[in-house]
Amino acid sequence: MNKQKKTIDVDYIAGLAKLEIDESKKSRFQEEMQNIVDYVDLLSELNVENIIPTAHAAQMKNVWREDVSENDFSREVMLKNAPELFDEGTIKVPQVLPGEGTA
């Protein structure tokens, strides 16, 4: 078994998740995440040769629905958690790309 240890880079993970992490907490996160990865890594000790990978415990397939539309949720309800709106129905978010004009 390949026992090369995977190390966690907290800054990189935080960057991907767009999170700013307090310098003082980094070592704690490092330790916690490393524990999780090491724990899951135990699986690599198993011999999985000839076993087809699966993402599910339940052996189901082709679970789908027919193409019928309905609209059960009002905009008011759906936008209740929106941080801020403009023009009554558009969600206002921090600027992502440069643009012109006012919202």
Partner 1 sequence: MKYDVVIGLEVHVQIKTESKMFCSCPNRYGEEPNTLTCPVCMGYPGAMPVPNRKAIEKAVIAGLMCGCSISEYSKFDRKSYFYPDMAKNYQISQYDLPFCLEGNIKVEGKGFSGKKIQIKNIGITRIHLEEDAAKSNHYAACSGVDYNKAGIPLLEIVSEPDIASADEAYAYLTNLKEIMQYGNISSCDMEKGQMRCDVNISLKPKGRKEFGTKIELKNMNSFRAVHRAVEYEIDRQAEALDEGVTLRQETRGWNDERGETYLMRSKESAHDYRYFPEPDLMPVVFTKNDIDNFKADIPELPKAKRERFISQFNVTEYDAKVLTAEKAVADYFEKGAEHTKSPKLLANWMITDLLKEISDSGLNINEIRVTPENLAEMIEMINKKTISGKIGKTVLSEMFKTGNKPSVIVKEKGLIQDTDESSIEKYVDKAIEDNPSQAEQYRSGKKNVLQYFVGQVMKQSRGKANPQIAIKLLKEKLG
Sites of contact with partner 1 (CB under 8 A)? 15-18, 55-56, 58, 60-73, 75, 78-79, 86-87, 89-103
Which CB atom, from 5 or from 61, has the smaller least distance to partner 1?
A: 61
Of 54, 20, 57, the residue nearest 29 (C-alpha): 20
State the minimum distance, in angstroms, from the CB of residue 80 to partner 1: 11
- On the CB side of 13, how many CA atoms lie within 13 Å of its CA? 10
Nearer to partner 1, 2 or 95 (CB): 95
Pairwise CA distance, residues 103 & 87, whole Å: 8
